[in-house]
Amino acid sequence: MLRQLPPISVFVLWLTVLFGVTLFSDNIFYRSQKNSLDTFPNELIEKKIHETQRAKLEPDPVTPKVIEKPKNITKHVRVKKGDTLMKVLTSNGVDKKQAANLIAAVKTIYNLRSLPIDHQLSIYFSTDSYNAHNKYNKVESFSFLKNYKEQIFASRDTAGKFKSEIKIRSLKTKDVYIEGQISSSLYEAALSKRMPQKLLMELIRIYSFDVDFQREIQREDSFSILFKQHSNADGEIVHNDTIEWAKLTLSGKPLEYAKYTSPKSNHTDYYNREGKSVKKTLMRTPVDGARLSSRYGKRKHPILGFTKMHRGVDFAAPKGTPIMAAGDGVIEAVGRKGNYGKYIRIRHNSTYKTAYGHLSRYKRGLKNGKRVKQGSIIGYVGSTGRSTGPHLHYEVIKNGKKTNPLSVRLPAGDALKDNELKIFLNQLTSIDGRIQKAQAD
Ligand SMILES: [Zn+2]
């Protein structure tokens, strides 16, 4: 059939198709070229293409190369260490004058000194200011998130001046209930149930007063938590609130706490169903429990409990794990002490003292007579003294005698009273309802 057409028209047609296809896809171009080459001898094609091009005064109408103005010009910039807003703006194509005006507007609602590192800033440029050299000069607006729900927003008004405002993001909030059973460690169980890491840390911190995280967590123990989750219009999770309610069931014994903020003092704490604070005079786990609950220590280090011979408990944890003051008190000893290696002792009250051994180092500035708060870092796990591997040796000394921290009955923390207790119990009833509803979802 091709043979019946004048050869020149075949090639004009062929070229047109070829050029047409080129415009759409390189892939198709190469494929179609290859197919064509398979059907025609090479030499002939080259000759004919040449003739065709010469025969035509104008090349085939190719769509002229027009650089289209992008519809949206937005630059997202991450704040780096040492950045100022002026530096960020000018290094992203904003001239100094505009930048200064913009900064002046933002300053009225936000303290720019606290521009957090790694924070994302968005600069929206006017499409009119676009030019082919990839420069966008005129800033139309500028924004960044102050926190998960508030956005700092600055834009030009009709007079061309920048003004700023705080925009509240429209977010969806729902209760999330997570429960799970421990098969190897609390850490693994919680993460496998998609508990956000931040909340797992919180959970461990809440229970560090009650629970020895190295010895008391066992197979088939279980946990559950309730918290509020915020999502944006696209359904992306933008924030998880702190734990509102938690239950840890150890060897069949439930320990349940709910968050309560006193309307009087604005103080937030966790309380059990009797309104008693989770906080005890001393912590059972005075190290970051998350580092323990991974199976880390179980492999090679014997985790000793309290015996006649070993008058303390050991927490096997990676070197450098922070050690916390188990309770409020005064530093009574800090320095090397025989088999203990680097050692700290705190006097909490006339009855209780706690001691910490085998540290790799002390918290800077720690010395005798210094007051420490419960939960504050005093040193770091190590393996100094007589020790087979990095661990904390922890002792609770009651009336001068080393006592098993697991069996010592510590004085309870504060309890809610009167009106506060009433408010808390009402809140607990509503939490129970929310748990039921969230469980059903
Ligand atoms: Zn020990």
> Measured in angstroms, how far is the CA atom of residue 311 from the centroid of ligand 1?
7
> Measured in angstroms, how far is the CA atom of residue 54 from the centroid of ligand 1?
93
**Same domain flag for 33 and 82:** no
> Measured in angstroms, how far is the CA atom of residue 313 from the centroid of ligand 1?
5
**Same domain flag for 294 and 258:** no
> Measured in angstroms, how far is the CA atom of residue 358 from the centroid of ligand 1?
9
> Measured in angstroms, how far is the CA atom of residue 197 from the centroid of ligand 1?
30
The pLDDT assigned to 19 comes to 46
**Same domain flag for 107 and 198:** no
**Same domain flag for 97 and 143:** yes
**Same domain flag for 295 and 307:** yes
Kindly state whether residue 26 falls inside one of the protein's structural domains.
yes
pTM of the model: 0.73
Kindly state whether residue 277 falls inside one of the protein's structural domains.
no
Kindly state whether residue 30 falls inside one of the protein's structural domains.
yes
Tell me how many domains the chain contains.
4
**Same domain flag for 199 and 238:** yes
> Measured in angstroms, how far is the CA atom of residue 395 from the centroid of ligand 1?
8
**Same domain flag for 308 and 262:** no
**Same domain flag for 255 and 176:** yes
**Same domain flag for 108 and 152:** yes
> Measured in angstroms, how far is the CA atom of residue 393 from the centroid of ligand 1?
4
Kindly state whether residue 420 falls inside one of the protein's structural domains.
no
Whether residue 323 contacts residue 377, with contact meaning beta carbons closer than 8 Å, is answered with yes
Instruction: Per residue of the chain (441 residues), give pLDDT as tens.
Output: 444 555 555 555 554 544 444 444 333 333 333 333 333 334 444 444 454 444 444 445 555 565 566 667 888 999 998 889 999 998 888 888 899 999 999 999 998 887 888 889 999 988 776 666 656 678 999 999 999 999 999 999 888 899 999 999 999 999 999 999 998 888 889 989 999 999 999 999 999 999 998 888 888 899 999 999 999 999 999 999 999 999 999 999 999 999 999 998 899 999 999 999 998 889 999 998 877 755 544 445 566 788 888 899 999 899 999 999 999 999 999 999 999 999 999 999 999 999 999 999 999 999 999 999 999 999 999 999 998 889 999 999 999 999 988 888 777 778 999 999 999 999 999 999 999 999 887
Kindly state whether residue 215 falls inside one of the protein's structural domains.
yes
- Decide which of 168, 189, 211 is a domain's last residue: 168
- Computed from CA positions of residues 150, 147, 155, 74, in that sequence, does the dihedral angle turn out positive or negative? negative
Whether residue 326 contacts residue 283, with contact meaning beta carbons closer than 8 Å, is answered with yes
> Measured in angstroms, how far is the CA atom of residue 370 from the centroid of ligand 1?
25
**Same domain flag for 308 and 349:** yes
**Same domain flag for 113 and 25:** no
> Measured in angstroms, how far is the CA atom of residue 100 from the centroid of ligand 1?
61
- Decide which of 242, 271, 300 is a domain's last residue: 271
Kindly state whether residue 422 falls inside one of the protein's structural domains.
no
- Decide which of 168, 191, 220 is a domain's last residue: 168
| Domain residue limits at 386 | 289-403
Kindly state whether residue 317 falls inside one of the protein's structural domains.
yes
427 in helix, strand or coil? helix
> Measured in angstroms, how far is the CA atom of residue 300 from the centroid of ligand 1?
15
Residue 127 belongs to domain with CATH number = 3.10.450.350
**Same domain flag for 295 and 380:** yes
Kindly state whether residue 438 falls inside one of the protein's structural domains.
no
Residue 363 belongs to domain with CATH number = 2.70.70.10
> Measured in angstroms, how far is the CA atom of residue 336 from the centroid of ligand 1?
15
